[in-house]
Structure 1
Amino acid sequence: MSGMIERLPGWPTLPDLFGWVEGGLPTVHTVPGTHGIRIEERLTDGTYVLRAELPGIDPAKDVEITITEGVLTLRAERTEETKEKHHTEFRYGTFTRSVRLPAGAKGDGATADYKDGVLTITVPVPEAKAGTRTIPVRHA
């Protein structure tokens, strides 16, 4: 028996399966004709952290991060090094992902770091003060 695994008819390949799983999440928005980006998010101690899997890219020139009206959009480009491949499962082209930030997130304080193929974006989210707010009345 060879080392190849036969695909059962009708079964999706793993990238298709991941795309289906990602497509079912409410925060997922990808642009048609582009690839999705796998992410994980967490909100702790007044900080929203988004980690994105982006191996094989140059963060200095191949990544664009924008925040518009509470939506963070991540766009990355990965180009093929050579065309003479017998087989590849790598994805090339444009990758995008958009997520809605938590209410009150301060996009102007966002930072991004890239290490070991993972992009980490950190956005401050000031704690909302509970209770009654007193509004001072100015005397005109």
Structure 2
Amino acid sequence: MTGMIERIPNWPPVLPDLFGWVEASLPGLHTTPGLHGIRIEESLTEDTYVLRAELPGIDPAKDVEITMTEGVLTLRAERSTQSADKRHTEFRYGTFARAVRLPAGARGDDAAADYKDGVLTITVPVPETKAGTRTIPVRHT
């Protein structure tokens, strides 16, 4: 059994495709028929939250909607099929959506979004929070 992973040359890259297959094949995984998930990457630096989303083949000017409500960033996109005469396709068409909770203190009003090479990047400033001890005075009435 040892060495089995070494004999499978594409072991790490196969896993995301396997998860995509499982995601598409399990009934009930998506609450809305035709609604697809969006694959994302998140990072948080000292003062910025960054969300990168895979959205190839999308026109960001007309097919993407980004909203923030009560600390939740919601990303929706739509991809329409180009032609009905396809012999075979593995592309996903329809509505794509993803919601993520933003870090505490994120300033959604100052968020920015850029789209390049099929990847949407959303940056949200997050002010530094002061971690420390605070003394609460007791009032005497």
Q: Which range, TM-score by smaller chain?
A: 0.7 to 0.9
1:26-65 matched pairs, under 5 angstroms: 32-33=32-33, 34-65=35-66
The answer as to whether partners of 1:35 and 1:95 remain within 8 angstroms in 2 is: yes
Segments ≥4 residues shifted beyond 6 Å: none
Q: Distance in 1 between matches of 2:112 and 2:135?
A: 33
Deviation, 1:46, is 1.0
Deviation, 1:134, is 7.2
Q: Distance in 2 between matches of 1:124 and 1:85?
A: 44
Q: Distance in 2 between matches of 1:58 and 1:52?
A: 14
The answer as to whether partners of 1:31 and 1:96 remain within 8 angstroms in 2 is: no
Q: Distance in 2 between matches of 1:16 and 1:97?
A: 18
- Superposed CA deviations along residues 1-41 of structure 1, whole A, max 9, x for unmatched, are xxxxxxxxxxxx84333x28xxxxxxxxx652200000000
Normalising by structure 2, we get a TM-score of 0.74
Q: State the secondary structure of the residue aligned to 2:84.
A: coil
Q: Distance in 2 between matches of 1:130 and 1:85?
A: 57
Find the counterpart in structure 1 of residue 73 from structure 2: 72
Normalising by structure 1, we get a TM-score of 0.75
| Residue 99 in structure 1 maps to residue 100 in structure 2 | yes
| Residue 127 in structure 1 maps to residue 128 in structure 2 | yes
C-alpha distance 53-108 of structure 1, shift in aligned 2 (>3 A) = same
Deviation, 1:132, is 3.8
Q: Which runs of 5+ in 1 are unaligned?
A: 1-12, 21-29, 136-140
Which amino acid letter does the alignment assign opposite residue 108 of structure 2?
A: G
Q: Percent identity?
A: 75
Q: Distance in 2 between matches of 1:130 and 1:57?
A: 41
Q: Distance in 2 between matches of 1:113 and 1:31?
A: 29
Q: State the secondary structure of the residue aligned to 1:16.
A: helix
Q: Which runs of 5+ in 2 are unaligned?
A: 1-16, 25-29, 137-141
